[in-house]
Chain A
Amino acid sequence: MQAKDLQKELQSNIRDYGMYIALFAIMAVFTVLTRGVFISSRNIADLMNQTGYIAILAVGVTLVIVMRQTDLSVGFLSGFLGAIGAIAMVSWGWSAWLAIPLLLVLGILAGLLTGFLVASVGIPAFVATIAGWLIYRGCLLVVTRDTGTIVIQDPLFLAIGSGYVPDLLARLPILPHVHKLTLLLGLATIAWANLSMARSRRSRAAYHFDVPPTDLFVVKQVFLSLLLAAITWVLAGARGLSWTLVVVLAVVALYDYVTHQTPIGRYIYAVGSNPDAAEASGISVKKMLYLVFASMGLLSAVSGILFASRLQSATPTAGTLFEMDAIAAAYIGGVSAAGGVGKVTGALVGSLVYMSLTSGMNLIGVDISLQYIVRGAVLAAAVIFDVSTRRHPR
């Protein structure tokens, strides 16, 4: 009975599990090949920080693709906005507290402009955003023409991309080389995850809905807790939680909540899956297009901030090909080009898969030409897997 349930669960979620299995396999292979260096706390912390700006873009791109649209302008938009931020702080003497909100607002405005072109004027998103790609690239070159690379010194701004959450508990006399705040936060997360799952299960049971049998539920919770504990331990082993990771987790958590739990989120998927049905249900397709492109613009700004902060400067080439990396990550994360299917958490895992490949191959010194080929093959394999698991009748 139990095994059957597990099998059924596995079958119906094969796509999601496949992605996690792939991530796990890639990490395991590189750990072996690098004799453990890959899984070291320091490398994992670096990997998370490298993944940050792509993961943020991939989250936005996922929703854009769910809506059957595309956005190629996000790379140079994020580069351009990063440069604006640098100029605001360096040339105009603004503090990061002012510069960051400015960038977020500019990002939303840029997204609304794309939304206007696509939803109101009726230009295909592909073309509208190639125009954006060219224009933002030009803008980036204009604003960095006189200065070249602009070095940023604002400590607050730099902390976002390369700083870590300070260990407020460092004085506690236990575990000398471990980031104790991270450990505490990790334990708190585990407790919260278990409590909220148990509560949701109780509330479903109160409605007399089907709930998984108790033993299966416990096994699942133990597995999840161990996984979270392992991640926590690895992160706590180095400098702890980076601010980049905090930003990424916050964005993913927010978007995951909005897409799953709020009407707006459901409308995005409804429009992507069947625009006519959505319109007939009283949903404005146009409004949703504006919304999704505005969110894309906002996330481009966040990504630009993360990248500029990580590089500690704005450069004339910032953002080059970010859009392609983000789109690839979104597809690896399980979004469907036909629209209506794809998760925000998938975008995060897809980005991790993509960046783990890069990071791992760099560690073992694979030539860059071969790296591109491997990444391309993995992307193709992910989508082939996706298409074939979708086609089989359940």
Chain B
Amino acid sequence: MSRTILEMRAISKAFPGVKALDGVTFQVREGDIHCLVGENGAGKSTLMKVLSGVYPYGSYEGDILLEGRVQTFRGIADSERVGIAIIHQELALVPDMTVYENILLGHEIRKGIAIDWNETIRRATEMLRKVGLALNPATLVKDLGVGKQQLVEIAKALSRDVKLLILDEPTAALNEDDCDNLLALLDGLRQQGVTCVLISHKLKEVIRIADKVTVLRDGQTVRTLDARAGEVSEAALIRHMVGREITDIYPKRGPVAWSVGGAPADGSGARGGAEVVLEVRDWWAEAFQEPILKGINLHVGRGEIVGIAGLMGSGRTELARSLFGNPDHYRLRGDLFIRGERRALAHPRDAIRAGLAYATEDRKRNGLVLIQDVKQNITLANLQAIARRGVVDNNAEVRVANEYKTALAIKTPSVEQVVGHLSGGNQQKVSIAKWLFVKPELLILDEPTRGIDVGAKFEIYTLMNQLVEQGMSILMISSELPEVLGMSDRIYVMSAGAITGEVAGAGATQETIMQLATRN
């Protein structure tokens, strides 16, 4: 019986307004590959950040014991010193440096005060061999693909006598071959006695490689399953991962009133629910020779709320962005139809003109201008509407902003309030107001209720219902299964850049969606 190398006892960590971890216990046996699974927001990454010292000792409750000794990390450097190496989703390599420089960065091999380059290259080559990467160590990291960069990261971790290797969704960005290589490598490292914690959304992968699996849900440990005791199966994992009750916070909506709002002037909207506002057929996207989206087929009808479910990295946001004028410049293939007409949208500007709007998932980064006030944010995407001969009419701006403030019940002392000072829920409303002001026919909402409280969620849901009742269509991307199930007429489930299933909103269960979302 091998010993316990890591024990995390009753770890709790709170952020303003959210309890991210609530008394999590986590034990890892030496030499195991221990997987950590859970829905988005379950607390996996937070737990690993506590473990690696990103959140320093004192900012959380509970104890970390490595080989039986309590650890008090003040930063990443401390956790590295005792042999914990974490490989994040965002790779931590220096792009302008060679592979060998990267592998030994931070713990150079010296001869006197100078670096012994020959020894460095020899050592790096040895590490590359260990991770099964045959390449010239003098290659610049920026010339490597993501899969190889990942392996270089692992080589870097191995070069510093790692006791515990943590990988945060290492396969999320990899293609199938690279995934296989990586899993084989982890298996090989296990045989050499390296202990490994693997965070992954891909359950097949977990089942293939794990010795033990710990499931987290809502910041708590649900269970730890032992593969050797035959406890790990897809059904068991999914059962433990979901299991939140769907409460009745999802308001019922009335029938579509076709005459109001976003219906087109030519009256085509009056033909009823059969009209398809947006459709894509065999839609592919590619970036840096890696496929991002693989043959997506979907359509959204007038007055419909269509949900897109899937785990992080499944390509949902990429799909939305590829539809909304493709600002990331993916190489696109396939057909896009708007109201039955084939269109090419080369810029978000074209998308807005075609009647699309997209409220982004990260409103702080690319949704709102936080240092500007409510009215400036609301009018930003459609300034022409309140401009006369190229000059913005300030009075019209205030009038428009006040209309939306009332209509959406944005809680702000005035429309001159700086958006950064509003609560998350009200920021989200401003973001939606901004996109309603462009008078779209299809509103794409990416994680519309992320980071906002239950009361504000209810208001957003009510608003969504009002909008579709007026004839607008909504494409909603959400990581919260209850939300997708509670709000959508139809749901597409994505995994690894492809749609793995389409289900009706009524009658679908969290289990069916999770099953589709983890299929790849």
Contact = CB atoms under 8 A, between A and B. Distances in A.
Contacts of A276: 90, 92
B207 interface: no
Interface string A268-299: 01101110111111110000000000000000
A263 interface: yes
A201 to B, nearest CB: 11
A376 to B, nearest CB: 28
A97 interface: no
Contacts, number: 67
A263 B108 CA distance: 6
A204 B76 contact: no
B94 interface: yes
Contacts of A279: 76
Interface string A181-212: 00000000000000000000001101101000
A266 B101 contact: yes
B106 A283 contact: yes
Contacts of B115: 261-263, 266
B143 A394 contact: yes
Contacts of B80: 282
B122 interface: yes
Contacts of B76: 279-280, 282
A207 B106 contact: no
B97 A273 contact: yes
B343 interface: no
Contacts of B118: 203-204, 206-207, 209
Contact of B105 (A206, A257, A266, A272): A266
B101 A277 contact: no
A280 B106 CA distance: 9
A16 to B, nearest CB: 15
B161 interface: no
Interface residues of B, number: 26
Nearest to B52: A280
A334 interface: no
Given A207-B122, A394-B143, A266 B107 contact: no
A340 interface: yes
Given A273-B94, A273-B97, A262 B114 contact: yes
B106 A281 contact: yes
Interface residues of A, number: 26
Interface string B89-107: 0111111110001000111
B233 to A, nearest CB: 36
B504 interface: no
Contact of B114 (A204, A261, A274, A281): A261
A272 B95 CA distance: 10
A88 interface: no
A113 interface: no
A261 B118 CA distance: 11
A6 to B, nearest CB: 18
Interface in A223-267: 257, 261-263, 266
B77 interface: yes
B120 to A, nearest CB: 10
Contacts of A207: 118, 121-122
Interface in A149-187: none
B399 interface: no
User: Most chain-B Cβ atoms within 10 A of its Cβ — which of A269, A279, A280, A341?
Assistant: A280
Contacts of B134: none
A272 B107 CA distance: 18
B113 interface: yes
A262 B97 contact: no
Nearest to B139: A394
A209 B95 contact: no
A280 B97 contact: no
B114 A280 contact: no
Contact of B94 (A203, A206, A278, A282): A278
Contacts of A394: 143
Interface in A298-331: none
Nearest to B90: A276
A125 to B, nearest CB: 20
B110 A263 contact: yes
B96 A341 contact: yes
Contacts of A204: 118
User: Most chain-A Cβ atoms within 10 A of its Cβ — which of B80, B94, B95, B110?
Assistant: B94
B360 to A, nearest CB: 22
Contacts of B121: 207, 209
A257 B114 contact: yes
Nearest to A207: B118
A138 B497 CA distance: 61
A282 B107 contact: yes
B95 A282 contact: no
Interface string A128-165: 00000000000000000000000000000000000000
A275 to B, nearest CB: 10
B77 to A, nearest CB: 4
A97 to B, nearest CB: 27
Contacts of B143: 394
Contacts of B122: 207
B498 to A, nearest CB: 29
A246 B76 CA distance: 44
Contacts of A280: 76, 88, 92
A72 B512 CA distance: 62
Contacts of A273: 94-97
Contacts of A270: 94, 97, 105
B92 A282 contact: no
A266 B105 CA distance: 8
B114 A340 contact: no
Given A204-B118, A207-B118, A262-B115, A277 B94 contact: yes
Nearest to A275: B94
Nearest to B118: A207
A263 to B, nearest CB: 4
Given A209-B118, A266-B115, A278-B105, 16 more contacts: A207-B122, A261-B117, A262-B113, A263-B110, A272-B96, A273-B94, A273-B95, A273-B96, A274-B94, A277-B92, A281-B106, A282-B77, A282-B80, A283-B106, A340-B94, A340-B97
25 contacts: A203-B118, A206-B118, A209-B118, A209-B121, A257-B114, A261-B114, A261-B115, A261-B117, A262-B115, A263-B110, A266-B97, A266-B108, A269-B96, A273-B94, A273-B95, A274-B92, A274-B94, A277-B93, A277-B94, A278-B94, A280-B76, A280-B88, A280-B92, A281-B106, A282-B107
Q: Which 6 A-B pairs have the closest CB atoms?
A: A281-B106, A280-B92, A277-B92, A261-B114, A340-B96, A273-B96
Interface of B: 76-77, 80, 88, 90-97, 101, 105-108, 110, 113-115, 117-118, 121-122, 143
